[in-house]
């Protein structure tokens, strides 16, 4: 099975991860509740990027444990969806503080990044399809996880860059330098 990376495929990729994961205990099963990506706490509510990613990873693990062999597992949000949400938030904040010239440059940069992202997704999909083309379902989970990691890292990197730009524009250098 080939899972194509795209802006709409992360949920499908994660759904494939559920096929081989062990089932959760009854207590974990009862305690788990799905969360839509918009219901997750934002990056700003965590002490660090690492804490944000740990929260996402812990949630995804509980989701996989609960829905290991069921179709509702496709509702497990993925890193890339949450990082995309954070990118949109950071982009909007930066657009608010940029003068018109900066806004235009940011729009061009973002459009170019999207082209680059999509090109990277294409080559990653091609590479992952060949790497995991060994037959059988045992490779569906590792392939889907690799696809999610690639897309999540691409969006995370851009998000952190946009956040850095916003801080640079919003927090001028002090005279102590």
pLDDT grade, residue 155 (50/70/90)?
very high
Higher-confidence residue: 101 or 29? 101
Higher-confidence residue: 65 or 10? 65
pLDDT at 121 over 70: yes
Would you state the pLDDT for residue 11?
42
* 3-state SS record for the chain: CCCCCCCCCHHHHHHHHHHHCCCCCHHHHHHCCCCCHHHCCCHHHCCCHHHHHHHHHHHHHHHHHHCCCCHHHHHCCCHHHHHHHHHHHHHHHHHHHCCHHHHHHHHHHHHHHHHHHHHHHHHHHHHHHHHCCCCCHHHHHHHHHHHHHHHHHHHHHHHHHHHHHHHHHHCCCCCCC
Higher-confidence residue: 15 or 53? 53
Higher-confidence residue: 55 or 18? 55
pLDDT grade, residue 111 (50/70/90)?
very high
Cα dihedral 120, 122, 126, 128 sign: positive
Q: What is the mean pLDDT of residues 5-9?
A: 42
Say which range, 16-30, 31-45, 46-60, 149-163, has the weakest mean pLDDT. 16-30
pLDDT at 64 over 50: yes
Would you state the pLDDT for residue 97?
93
pLDDT at 22 over 80: no
Cα dihedral 114, 119, 125, 128 sign: negative
pTM: 0.74
Whether the Cβ atoms of residue 123 and residue 5 lie closer than 8 Å to each other: no
Q: Where are the domains of the chain?
A: 10-170
């Amino acid at each position: 099975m080939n899972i194509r990376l795209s802006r709409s495929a992360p949920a499908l990729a994660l759904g494939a991860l559920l096929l081989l994961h062990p089932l959760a205990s009854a207590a974990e099963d009862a305690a788990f509740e799905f969360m839509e990506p918009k219901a997750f706490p934002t990056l700003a509510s965590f002490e660090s990027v690492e804490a944000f990613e740990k929260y996402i990873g812990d949630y995804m693990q509980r989701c996989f444990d609960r829905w290991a062999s069921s179709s509702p597992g496709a509702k497990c949000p993925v890193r890339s969806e949450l990082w995309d949400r954070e990118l949109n938030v950071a982009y909007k904040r930066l657009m608010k503080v940029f003068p018109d010239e900066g806004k235009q440059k940011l729009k061009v940069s973002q459009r170019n990044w999207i082209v680059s992202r999509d090109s990277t997704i294409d080559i990653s999909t091609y590479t992952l399809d060949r790497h995991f083309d060994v037959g059988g379902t045992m490779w569906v989970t590792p392939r889907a996880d690799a696809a999610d990691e690639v897309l999540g890292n691409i969006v995370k990197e851009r998000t952190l860059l946009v956040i850095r730009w916003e801080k640079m524009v919003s927090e001028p250098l002090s005279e102590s330098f």
